[in-house]
Every structure is written in structure tokens, then in C-alpha cells.
Amino acid sequence: MVLPVPKKRRRISAFFKILIALTLACGALVAGGIYVMRSIKPLDLAEPPPEDGCEVVTEEDTDSLEVEQAANAATISGVAFARDLPEHAVVISYATVWQESKFYNIEHGDRDSLGLFQQRPSMEWGTPDQIIDPVYSSDKFYEALIEIDGYADMPVYEAAQAVQRSADGFAYDQHEARSRTMADAFTGVEGPAVSCWFPAEDAAPTDVEGAAEEMRRVFGVGPDELASAERQTGDLGWAMAQWAVAHARDYGLSSVTYQDRRWTLSSTQQGWGDAETPAGDGGLVLE
């Protein structure tokens, strides 16, 4: 005869079964956690920066660009100086280029579109060779922009769309905040806000005169004319200094000195420092 188990003993037995199940489950979780922790590599806080790149630092934000992107941004801003246009025009152009080409001077696009602004030879923007020149294409964009009545008071995306006549004009709006940060930097209002770095062996042969000549083509003035030049856009001196930094790889420049600040070529994100030998008031020295 099998005697029935008292209810109290059945409850205790059930309790121990649950306790054992929980213990096994917790053990499995702990073991799994230890395995995951051992499998994940620890974060390397000392990871070196990319071999080349540029950094834009303003009071509002910090942004990273590739050297090619920074060089094109500096040229687009510089052409606005040559035309004596306000910073708002630079913001509009930047928002446009972010949408159209992300600041890469590409030789392809929708149908026959080319270059930074994806302008079309068939729409009378110029020849392919002209459009692929960042100075020419920037100038043509600004030429069309200033024909838009009241563009200076328009929202950025509306002004961009009025020039580009894109399928989705509102797409330019997503780039406004980033474009404003970049415009503050490349127009010089934030001082030494742009710094670039790259391996010295990647640089072209040093050509200071070539860099100065191209600056005249972009800005309408060269480094030797800076002190007497006046423009309504930002700070011309800092804009030219940062153009030189962004193009240092193209012209083999190892240092750029403006007034009492100096950028020196480095393979790290060193940035600008104090100049041992200041360039003086309005002075810009390329080496």
C-alpha cells in the first residue's frame, strides 16, 4: 500500500525543483556572459587617426572630411569671395553639393551630369572640361544663384532648388546644419578651424608659386595682395590660409602661417599652433 505524500512535502519538493532549475539557468547565463566578454575585443582608446583626412572645428560643431572634400569645399567658398557674396550663398552651395556629389568632383551622374554640382552640358552649363573644373562650376552656380530674386532671404533648400531644378528640391534641406558649420569654418569667421593631415610621401612636389597662382584664380587675389583686399564674406585671410591647408597635399606645402598662427604638416591631427616667426598683420606665408 502506497501512502499519499503529505501536501506540505509535495510543496517543498516542488520548491526545490524550481530552485534547481533557476540555479542551472543562472549558471548558463553567467557562463554565456563570460564567453561573450572574452570574445569581444576591448575598445582601443589609443587607436590612431586615419592616414589622411581633415577636421573642421567650430564653436557649434566638429566635422570630419576627406582631403579631397575639404579642398573642394575651400574652393567653393573661395569663389564666393571672388564674387563678394554673403556667407548665405556659401551655405546654399554647400547644401547643394552635399546632395549632388558629397564634395567629390565626379565625372559621371544622371544623364550627362558632371562635377560637384552635377551640372549638365546639354543644359548649357558649359563644356564637360569646364564643368569638371571646381572653380568654373562654382562660379556658374553662383552666377545662377544671384539671378534668383530674393535668394538671400530664402530658405536654403528653396534657393538651391531654384538653381538646380531637382526632382526632389526638399532633399537639400537635410544638409543645411552641416553646411552652416562648414561655411563658418571655410569662410574664416571661426579663425583656424580647418586642419588636414596626410603622409608626406603622398604630397606633390612643393610648388608655392603654383598654389599662390591658383589662389588668385579662386579668390581673385593672391597672398601678396591680402593686406589690401576687402570682402564682405567672412575673414578673407583665414579663408585663404585654410584653402592652402586643404590643398597642401596638391602643392606639396609643409606649413602655412597666417599672422601669429602656423599649421604644420603632420601625420596626426595636430592642427594649428603658435608660429615661432609670425607672418605679421595680414601676412600669409606658404612653405
Q: What pLDDT, on a 0 to 100 scale, did the predictor assign at position 231? A: 66
Determine, yes or no, domain membership for 15: no
Determine, yes or no, domain membership for 172: yes
Higher pLDDT, 230 or 63: 63
Q: What pLDDT, on a 0 to 100 scale, did the predictor assign at position 81? A: 95
Determine, yes or no, domain membership for 21: no
Q: What pLDDT, on a 0 to 100 scale, did the predictor assign at position 112? A: 85
Determine, yes or no, domain membership for 195: yes
- Answer whether 0.85 is exceeded by the pTM: no
Overall domain count for the chain: 1
d(CA 189, CA 268): 25
Determine, yes or no, domain membership for 44: no
Of the candidate ranges 59-63, 141-145, 227-231, the one whose mean pLDDT is the lowest: 227-231
- Give me the domain span that covers residue 182: 53-286
Q: Is the model's pLDDT at 192 over the cut of 80?
A: yes
The SS3 assignment for 264 reads strand
The set of cell numbers assigned to 27 is: 549558471
d(CA 254, CA 242): 13
Indicate the pLDDT class of residue 7, thresholds 50, 70 and 90: very low
Determine, yes or no, domain membership for 8: no
d(CA 270, CA 193): 12
Determine, yes or no, domain membership for 207: yes
d(CA 235, CA 4): 96
Closest alpha carbon to 103 in 71, 129, 127: 71
- pLDDT tens by residue, 241-278: 999 999 999 999 999 999 999 999 986 677 899 999 88
53 CA to centre of own chain: 9
- Indicate the residue type of 237: G
d(CA 167, CA 164): 9
The Cβ-side half-sphere exposure at 194, using a 13 Å CA radius, reads 31
The number of helix segments (H) and strand segments (E) in the chain equals 10, 7
Determine, yes or no, domain membership for 276: yes
Of the candidate ranges 39-53, 72-86, 103-117, 176-190, the one whose mean pLDDT is the lowest: 39-53
